[in-house]
């Protein structure tokens, strides 16, 4: 959609990525505003059949400009820290459309969230119920809560991004869901309004979503019998995208797979998508610095590294790597695209068939989610700049970090 080739050169909307790389230098994250908007609108439309609220998962891409674009379309936000809450507010997001997930909310985070009036806390433990009760009592408020339940469904995704199994740390285990709701009902400063579940990320089938929904609906029915009436169901995030040859459901297939059950239930639907909105709206541009062919492997050392994009190193994630310009000077061969960090795990892609010369630009596709947000300063590398393209315009939405800024908060010991 937003990333196409024009005369062989990869473009973001109407901007040549070759021009952007030269102008702003690399490594460089480039987002397409139109793609971001289209993804949001397509998902929103797919759920037209029911009262719903999309809460974009801020963890997938938290740049203020990205959040602002989505806020303007009516998006709410799924946050997991006080830091993400502050970002959403700074970007002009509507606090009444925020759901607060995560299993370790601090008292300070809860206080701030109650002060600004968020939609709901997704609670994951007894201890957290007590903590929210305490803060709400202090503020003289009733905190809107839902319980994040663990439906024990296999999301069939990478174990590090699977969250709905018994052995995962997330959610209230299904065997204690009812007693936890009943306990919550005894706390005077909590207002029980919903139920929530998120079973994992990068799901490429609808079945696990349907299975989880079935289990959650059974819980909702049982809760009614206990006198606990809910107003909403939060179906989490997790819809996958195509990085390689996956065939994830489209937004409408995803929505339609749950439609009969949701319509019958009749509650308002919240959802927390991250990747499905932001991943394909971004690329990471990098320049080939040095070529190092050996008898065993050919290495292309590029100026982006695992500190800029950790997904391949951390999850062995396969991300598509394309030449920005077709290189017609040399034959293609199999290259390992690696960073210059002193770790064997520092690679962006292995055994990729590419025609490469030092100086060429490469684009790591699908880098709009869990890309920049997971970057670090490992090896004292400043983090990349971020650009958002809007038609023919390219806007800097985050400056490249200067080296000096890396030790801004450091102090030497007193001398002597
Ligand atoms: N809601 C909750 C409670 C979550 O934990 C997550 C993601 C989401 C929503 C958004 O899920 P999405 O729609 O983006 O799949 N860094 C990993 C992904 C970690 C996902 C963590 N939780 C990666 O790069 O694949």
Of all residues in the chain, what percent carry a pLDDT higher than 90? 94
Q: What's the 223 CA to ligand 1 centre distance in angstroms?
A: 28
Nearest CA to ligand 1 atom 7: 201
User: Using a 6 Å cutoff on CB, does residue 101 contact ligand 1?
Assistant: yes
120 is catalytic: no
Q: What is the mean pLDDT of the chain?
A: 96
Fold (topology level) of 3-30+279-407: Lyase, Ornithine Decarboxylase; Chain A, domain 1 (2.40.37)
Region 235-243: what's the mean pLDDT? 98
CA distance 253 to 185: 36
In the chain, which residues fall in CATH 2.40.37.10? 3-30+279-407
Summarize pLDDT for 82-130 with one digit per residue, the tens: 999 999 999 999 999 999 999 999 999 999 999 999 999 999 999 999 9
In the chain, which residues fall in CATH 3.20.20.10? 33-276
Three-point CA angle 113, 182, 143, nearest 5° = 15
pLDDT of residue 154: 76
User: Using a 6 Å cutoff on CB, does residue 157 contact ligand 1?
Assistant: no
pLDDT of residue 168: 74
Fold (topology level) of 33-276: TIM Barrel (3.20.20)
Q: Nearest-CA neighbor of 38 among 338, 368, 342, 314?
A: 368
Stated pTM of the model: 0.97
How sure is the predictor about 163, in pLDDT bands with cuts at 50, 70 and 90? low
Gyration radius from the chain CA atoms: 23
Q: Nearest-CA neighbor of 33 among 214, 236, 278, 198?
A: 278
Summarize pLDDT for 362-399 with one digit per residue, the tens: 999 999 999 999 999 999 999 999 999 999 999 999 99
User: Using a 6 Å cutoff on CB, does residue 276 contact ligand 1?
Assistant: yes
- Whether 165 shows a pLDDT value over 70: the answer reads no
User: Using a 6 Å cutoff on CB, does residue 236 contact ligand 1?
Assistant: yes
């Amino acid at each position: 959609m937003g990333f196409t080739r024009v005369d062989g050169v990869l473009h973001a909307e109407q901007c040549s990525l070759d021009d952007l790389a030269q102008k702003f230098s690399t490594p460089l994250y480039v987002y397409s505003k139109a793609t971001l908007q289209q993804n949001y609108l397509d998902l929103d439309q797919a759920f037209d059949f029911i009262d719903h609220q999309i809460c974009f998962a801020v963890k997938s891409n938290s740049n203020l400009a990205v959040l602002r674009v989505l806020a303007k379309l009516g998006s709410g936000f799924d946050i997991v820290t006080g830091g993400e809450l502050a970002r959403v507010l700074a970007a002009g997001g509507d606090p009444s459309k925020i759901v607060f997930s995560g299993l370790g909310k601090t008292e300070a985070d809860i206080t701030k969230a109650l002060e600004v009036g968020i939609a709901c806390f997704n609670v994951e433990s007894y201890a957290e119920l007590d903590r929210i009760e305490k803060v709400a009592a202090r503020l003289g408020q009733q905190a809107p809560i839902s319980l994040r339940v663990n439906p024990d469904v296999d999301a069939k995704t990478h174990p590090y991004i699977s969250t709905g199994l018994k052995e995962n740390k997330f959610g209230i285990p299904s065997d204690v869901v009812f007693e936890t709701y009943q306990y919550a009902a005894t706390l005077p400063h909590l207002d029980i309004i919903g139920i929530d579940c998120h079973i994992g990320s990068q799901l490429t089938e609808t079945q696990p979503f349907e299975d989880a929904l079935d289990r959650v609906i059974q819980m909702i029915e049982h809760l009614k019998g206990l006198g606990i009436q809910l107003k909403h169901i939060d179906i989490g995030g997790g819809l996958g995208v195509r990085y390689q040859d996956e065939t994830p459901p489209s937004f409408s297939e995803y929505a339609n797979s749950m439609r009969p059950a949701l319509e019958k239930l009749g509650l308002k639907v919240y959802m927390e998508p991250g990747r499905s909105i932001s991943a394909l709206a971004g690329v990471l541009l990098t320049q080939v610095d040095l070529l190092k062919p050996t008898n065993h492997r050919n290495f292309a050392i590029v100026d982006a590294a695992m500190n800029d994009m950790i997904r391949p190193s951390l999850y062995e994630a396969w991300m598509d790597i394309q030449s920005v310009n077709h290189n017609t000077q040399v034959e293609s061969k199999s290259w390992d695209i690696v960073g210059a960090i002193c770790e064997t795990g520092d690679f962006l892609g292995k055994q990729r068939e590419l025609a490469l010369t030092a100086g060429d630009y490469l684009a790591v596709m699908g880098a709009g989610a869990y890309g920049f947000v997971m970057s670090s300063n490992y090896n004292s590398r400043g983090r990349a700049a971020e650009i958002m393209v809007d038609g023919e315009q390219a806007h800097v939405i985050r400056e490249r970090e200067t080296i000096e800024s890396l030790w801004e908060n450091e102090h030497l010991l007193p001398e002597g």
